[in-house]
Amino acid sequence: MTKALIDARITPTVHLNVLSQQEVSKLLDTSSRGLYRLFRQCALAVLSHGDYTDDAKELLARHAAFDIKIIQQDRGIKLEVTGAPADAFVDGEMIRGINEHLYSVLRDIIYSNDAIIENPAFDLNNSEGVTNAVFHIMRNSGTLHYGKKPRLVVCWGGHSISRVEYDYTKEVGYQLGLRKQNICTGCGPGAMKGPMKGATFGHAKQRIKDGQYLGMTEPGIIAAESPNPIVNDLVIMPDIEKRLEAFVRIGHGIIVFPGGAGTTEEILYILGILLHPKNAYVPFPLIFTAPESSREYFEQIDDFIGATLGKDAQKRYEIIIDDPEKVAIKMKQGIKKVRDFRREHSDAYYFNWLLKIDEEFQQPFEPSHQNMSNLELHKDLPKHILAANLRRAFSGIVSGNVKDDGIRAIEKHGLFEITGDPDIMARMDTLLKSFVEQSRMKLPSDIAYKPCYKIVT
């Protein structure tokens, strides 16, 4: 059955109310230099709330007639949408949460382009410049809470998880909410929605009315992980590297649930940072957790980390199986250590300036066929550099699985080829095959998963 489409004019409820003529021109510019294609893609993902897919190309093709334009008025701006999904509206009026998300997209795309990317004051080839850019984007979004004690828990995990795993993420979120912790995720379904949903119940019991449910995404992934309805703060970072840095700069601890290639990418990212010698004494609670039925998942991840990055990497996290209360207690205890450390070193509670993030983790990686085949994946590399390159390999697989550009590249040029140390390749192949067997690579569908990669041993 074909779902109804709606044409409407939308007034912002919060966020950006006025734009300059130059900004409007950029948003309407359909050339490669303009922002129209980017804005349309992100806006469609937000309006497709609840229609979860992990194929950006398919979503864009299904809504080929969708259009969005800026209407400049004396009293401010309106958005005119044509062929928008009807589920974004109730009785002809756009749902308030979706309205807020839509204008968050507009706010961040304009700011990132004008104030960061095209601003010579930001040297994005420099580590300090990238970190400053991340800070400015977060500050502009209004999501940094100054003067408040650390309590933001980042939750990572897959959008394609089982019902048992999803219920477990909700219970962990509930236990965190009871302990007055806030939640930050990648904003999508599955392990990104569950902790937020659970936390809302915990916060309700504690009569917390200003709980933060922060969703962090980027243009390439938003169609695959459109914002879930619980997100009350949405931030669109310019690329995956700045998104990942934002997670670790503003979060006070990280909990990882089962997932697929994207979750492994995130694990390798944080471990690579924590393995940097300058971060040896920086407290950062990191917990891997799952229900009993998914114990094997983290056993496989732990084996892979031990074989590639070594015991020092394994010491930086704790695995807790089937005990949501223990996870929440341990996280709260870990965040107290973070608070004490930052107070002692005069570091901000709302942004982790002291954490050293190497440029290898900050520069955008384009997962082209050549770049994927040229990745150095050898055991003689420094461990944090090997982690950075392994992260890039999994990032490329995510791109080939769900991102519009990545899917088109695979269709045109064939599978990505990944090569390196034979032992690393064999272990990576085993891990990825287990993700495929457990349906962790894409959302379940009638079409069997087709790998976008080939491991060359």
Examine the domain organization and report whether 148 and 83 are in the same domain: no
Examine the domain organization and report whether 79 and 164 are in the same domain: no
Q: What is the pLDDT of residues 366-380, one digit of tens each?
A: 999 999 999 999 999
Collect the ranges in the chain with pLDDT lower than 70: 1-3, 14-17, 50-57, 73-76, 443-446
Examine the domain organization and report whether 99 and 140 are in the same domain: no
In this prediction, residue 1 carries a pLDDT of: 43
Examine the domain organization and report whether 194 and 256 are in the same domain: yes
Examine the domain organization and report whether 379 and 272 are in the same domain: no
**Considering the domain boundaries, does residue 113 fall inside one?**
yes
Examine the domain organization and report whether 246 and 287 are in the same domain: yes
Residue 223 CB contacts under 8 Å (≥ 6 apart), including other chains: 41, 44, 45, 48, 53, 55, 56, 59, 60, 402, 403, 404
In this prediction, residue 350 carries a pLDDT of: 95
Domain enclosing residue 32, as ranges: 5-121
Last residue within a domain, chosen from 316, 344, 372: 344
Examine the domain organization and report whether 160 and 282 are in the same domain: yes
Please give the Cα distance from 187 to 163 (Å, whole number).
Answer: 18
**Considering the domain boundaries, does residue 127 fall inside one?**
no
**Considering the domain boundaries, does residue 61 fall inside one?**
yes
**Considering the domain boundaries, does residue 371 fall inside one?**
yes
Examine the domain organization and report whether 225 and 321 are in the same domain: yes
**Considering the domain boundaries, does residue 130 fall inside one?**
no
Total of domains in the chain: 3
Q: What is the pLDDT of residues 258-294, one digit of tens each?
A: 999 889 999 999 999 999 999 999 999 999 999 999 9
In this prediction, residue 273 carries a pLDDT of: 96
Instruction: Give the domain CATH number at 250.
Output: 3.40.50.450
Last residue within a domain, chosen from 99, 121, 143: 121
Instruction: Give the domain CATH number at 22.
Output: 3.30.1850.10
**Considering the domain boundaries, does residue 354 fall inside one?**
no
| Cα-based distances in Å from 53 to 148, 226, 265, 387 | 37, 9, 20, 29
In this prediction, residue 240 carries a pLDDT of: 92
- Three-state secondary structure readout of 76-92: EEEEEEEEEEHHHEECC
Examine the domain organization and report whether 182 and 301 are in the same domain: yes
Examine the domain organization and report whether 142 and 245 are in the same domain: yes
Examine the domain organization and report whether 91 and 140 are in the same domain: no
Name the 3-class secondary structure at 95: coil
In this prediction, residue 49 carries a pLDDT of: 73
Examine the domain organization and report whether 277 and 180 are in the same domain: yes
**Considering the domain boundaries, does residue 178 fall inside one?**
yes
For residues 212 and 177, the answer to whether their CB atoms sit within 8 Å is no
Residue 138 CB contacts under 8 Å (≥ 6 apart), including other chains: 144, 235, 246, 249, 250, 351
In this prediction, residue 236 carries a pLDDT of: 95
Question: Which residue has tokens 């550099």?
Answer: 385
**Considering the domain boundaries, does residue 352 fall inside one?**
no
Last residue within a domain, chosen from 96, 121, 146: 121
Helix (H), strand (E) at residue 9: strand 5-10
Please give the Cα distance from 166 to 158 (Å, whole number).
Answer: 10
- Three-state secondary structure readout of 400-456: HHHCHHHHHHHHHHCCEEEECCHHHHHHHHHHHHHHHHCCCCCCCCCCCCCCCEEEE
In this prediction, residue 361 carries a pLDDT of: 94
